[in-house]
């Protein structure tokens, strides 16, 4: 079974579709030339919590360098597990625009009448309002009319260079939800991850260049700010009060070109615990149609209240109607903290950034481990790229150290390391086994609180 996190991605002609990689073309490359598969803005899965860089990477195109024409790119693979079942999730972001599609509202009236009822409002500890639905039911058309102006289109652009300093561009697209009338926008971290330019288009077709306020890779939530006034903020529902069978209406920007598209279904399940990129997320499940470009868009209930932020869906050829959203009670809390201070409290960090290499296996060569040697073609090595945290510096970590194991678990990927870190709390101690030059060392590290800078 396969799943996709939606921003959507495309690839260059001749490439195979993968969930999560993106194919880019070098600046100035002629059609049919060799494509470069690298990280992409907008189509990335969540950045691991231990990464020191949570913000947007600011890169700039060289003067006079032209952008390739509509590179096609696939989605990034994301590991998903539940119990003993192995699944694959792809992010719902789009990279590069598509042609040949027309947009339309899919507004099927699942509920034919409107019955009025009173509502009460509660205020969370961070100050945002959660309205308690008490049985009111609107048609999908009524929900759409109430909420469509609260959903925006997001387009991203990133410029990167390879080892030979040849530059290439990646374009991405996703969705977002208006938080405040003065221009705060909530979306997914993976929609804007690595972007050097972010453009937001509101429901009245006005475009704004957005600034990144804050982002959290663990919950996959980011907050943007645009210079706009009199926007229509979404009304937050209370996702803790949802029941299986409740109406669910998704509004977003599928394929990166069909902004304002509506699909409708029900809440299929609650509290789905899925491990994505080494991080366990508790999500809402819906059968409302979710497509690439829907990432960061809104999932609304039958009262027109925002109950979730769309994040993932099934991508299996034999699977339909399996979409997932971050419950709004969690998403809104994270977004408010990002607005207030730029980071989320009480999340563990190693205070280091890492680089992953699939070229050979230095650990196997050093340890002479036959199992490592046999798997070196597919097993990656994880190196410390930069040491920024106070605890990591005091412990004696250095840039270039190879991370062989943490707490006895062999480290062959970012996901493995991230899973270990996020399963602990601030103040917990981890034992790193590292390779430095011709020596192996064990170093103990006390996890610190993740800030905007680490």
The catalytic residue positions are 190, 220, 295
C-alpha span between 340 and 333 (Å, rounded): 11
Per the CB < 8 A criterion, the answer to whether 298 and 152 are in contact is no
Neighbours of 109 (CB within 10 A): 12
CA atoms within 13 A on the CB side of 48: 25
What are the angstrom distances between the C-alpha of 266 and each of 53, 140, 430? 37, 11, 43
Angle (nearest 5°) at CA 349 between 345 and 352: 140
Closest CA to 24 of 8, 16, 12: 12
C-alpha span between 348 and 315 (Å, rounded): 31
C-alpha span between 2 and 96 (Å, rounded): 22
What is the DSSP secondary-structure string of 63-118?
A: TTPPPPS---B-BBPEEEEETTEEEEEEEEEB-S---S---------SS---B---
Helices (H), ranges, 243-351:
328-341
C-alpha span between 23 and 11 (Å, rounded): 5
And the tokens for 41?
């803005």
Neighbours of 302 (CB within 10 A): 25
Which residues does 222 contact at the CB level (< 8 Å), separation at least 6? 186, 187, 188, 189, 191, 192, 212, 213, 214, 215, 216, 296, 338
C-alpha span between 253 and 271 (Å, rounded): 25
Closest CA to 386 of 55, 58, 51: 51
Q: Per DSSP, what are the bridge partners of residue 154? A: 174, 200
C-alpha span between 295 and 279 (Å, rounded): 18
What are the angstrom distances between the C-alpha of 245 and each of 65, 106, 288, 342? 52, 19, 12, 36
And the tokens for 131?
């309205």
Q: Give the β-pairing of 78-82 and 85-93.
A: antiparallel
């Amino acid at each position: 079974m396969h799943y996709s996190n939606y921003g959507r991605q495309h690839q260059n002609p001749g490439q195979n579709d993968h969930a999560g990689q993106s194919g880019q073309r070098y600046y100035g490359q002629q059609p049919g030339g060799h494509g470069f598969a690298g990280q992409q803005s907008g189509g990335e899965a969540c950045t691991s919590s231990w990464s020191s860089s949570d913000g947007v990477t600011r890169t700039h195109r060289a003067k006079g360098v032209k952008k390739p024409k509509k590179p096609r790119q696939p989605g990034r693979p994301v590991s998903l597990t539940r119990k003993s079942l192995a699944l694959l999730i792809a992010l719902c972001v789009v990279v590069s625009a598509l042609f040949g599609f027309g947009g339309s509202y899919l507004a099927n009236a699942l509920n034919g009448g409107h019955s009025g009822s009173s509502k009460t409002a509660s205020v969370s500890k961070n100050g945002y309002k959660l309205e308690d639905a008490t049985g009111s039911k609107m048609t999908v058309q009524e929900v759409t009319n109430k909420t469509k102006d609260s959903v925006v289109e997001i387009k991203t652009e990133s410029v990167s260079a390879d080892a030979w300093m040849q530059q290439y561009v990646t374009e991405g697209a996703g969705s977002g939800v208006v938080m405040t009338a003065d221009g705060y926008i909530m979306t997914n971290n993976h929609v804007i991850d690595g972007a050097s330019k972010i453009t937001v288009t509101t429901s009245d077709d006005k475009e704004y260049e957005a600034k990144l306020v804050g982002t959290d890779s663990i919950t996959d939530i980011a907050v943007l700010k645009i210079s706009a006034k009199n926007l229509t903020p979404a009304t937050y529902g209370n996702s803790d009060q949802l029941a299986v069978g409740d109406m669910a209406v998704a509004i977003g920007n599928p394929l990166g070109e069909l902004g304002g598209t509506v699909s409708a279904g029900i809440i299929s399940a609650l509290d789905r615990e899925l491990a994505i990129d080494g991080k366990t997320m508790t999500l809402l499940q819906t059968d409302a149609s979710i497509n690439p470009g829907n990432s960061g868009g809104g999932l609304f209930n039958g009262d027109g209240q925002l109950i979730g932020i769309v994040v993932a869906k099934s991508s299996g050829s034999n699977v339909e109607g399996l979409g997932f959203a971050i419950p709004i009670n969690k998403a809104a809390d994270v977004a408010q903290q990002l607005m207030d201070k730029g980071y989320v409290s009480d999340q563990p960090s190693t205070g280091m950034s890492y680089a992953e290499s699939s070229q050979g296996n230095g650990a196997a060569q050093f340890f002479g481990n036959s199992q490592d040697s046999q798997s070196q073609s597919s097993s990656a090595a994880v190196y410390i790229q930069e040491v920024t945290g106070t605890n990591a510096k005091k412990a004696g970590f250095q840039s270039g150290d190879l991370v062989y194991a943490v707490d006895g678990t062999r480290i062959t990927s970012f996901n493995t390391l991230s899973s270990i870190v996020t399963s602990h709390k601030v103040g917990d101690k981890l034992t790193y086994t590292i390779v430095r030059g011709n020596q192996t060392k064990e170093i103990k590290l006390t996890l610190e609180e993740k800030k905007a800078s680490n």
